[in-house]
């Protein structure tokens, strides 16, 4: 069971493994306090992976918006509506994950974390989509080359 304490910034209850307060983002301890180098490297790698996924999610959202614009200019709002519904679904999923992880606490920094989580989730979905398309292409190539069903 993690040890708890009080945040020196806001006075709310914190958990021992936290580096920063979840409520006010006050640094609670040095990232190296009581941690092995392997754990520190793992947390850095995880943070880096999340940042890469968030950037990929942002690029995906930008490209999807750019591809939806010609239809909107042409008078068809459906692609933009689908994009808006997708964004709302991602924000909803990130909000649920955030509230479950933080036991229903919503703070000043919550919105920023929810948006970052949405971009990360979109980046992860983009990677999954690329993997599925690549796997389908490989499968189609194998079926065509080996089975002769082109």
Ordered by start, the domain boundaries in the chain are: 1-35, 49-147
pLDDT above 50: residue 1: no
For the beta carbon of residue 71, count every other beta carbon within 10 angstroms.
13
pLDDT of res. 45: 73
- Whole-prediction pTM: 0.67
Q: Name the band, by pLDDT with cuts 50, 70 and 90, for residue 30.
A: low
Whether 15 contacts 6, CB under 8 Å: no
pLDDT above 90: residue 57: yes
Q: Name the band, by pLDDT with cuts 50, 70 and 90, for residue 64.
A: very high
How far is Cα 57 from Cα 38, in angstroms, rounded to an integer? 28
pLDDT above 50: residue 131: yes
30 or 51, greater pLDDT: 51
Comparing 3-12, 72-81, 116-125, 137-146, which segment has the lowest mean pLDDT?
Answer: 3-12
pLDDT above 90: residue 72: no
Which whole number is the average pLDDT over 120-138? 95
């Amino acid at each position: 069971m993690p040890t708890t304490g009080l945040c020196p910034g806001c006075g709310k209850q914190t958990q021992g493994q936290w580096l920063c307060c979840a409520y006010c983002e006050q640094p609670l301890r040095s990232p190296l306090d009581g941690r092995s180098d392997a754990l520190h490297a793992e947390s850095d790698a995880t943070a880096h992976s999340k940042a890469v996924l968030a950037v990929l999610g942002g690029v995906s959202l930008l490209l999807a918006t750019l591809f939806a614009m010609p239809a909107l200019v042409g008078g068809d709002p459906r692609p933009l509506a689908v994009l808006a519904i997708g964004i709302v679904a991602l924000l909803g999923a990130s909000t649920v994950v955030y509230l479950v992880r933080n036991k229903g606490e919503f703070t000043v920094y919550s919105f920023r974390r929810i948006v970052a989580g949405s971009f990360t989730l979109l980046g992860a979905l983009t990677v999954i989509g690329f993997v599925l398309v690549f796997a389908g292409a490989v499968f189609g190539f194998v079926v065509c080359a080996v089975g002769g069903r082109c």
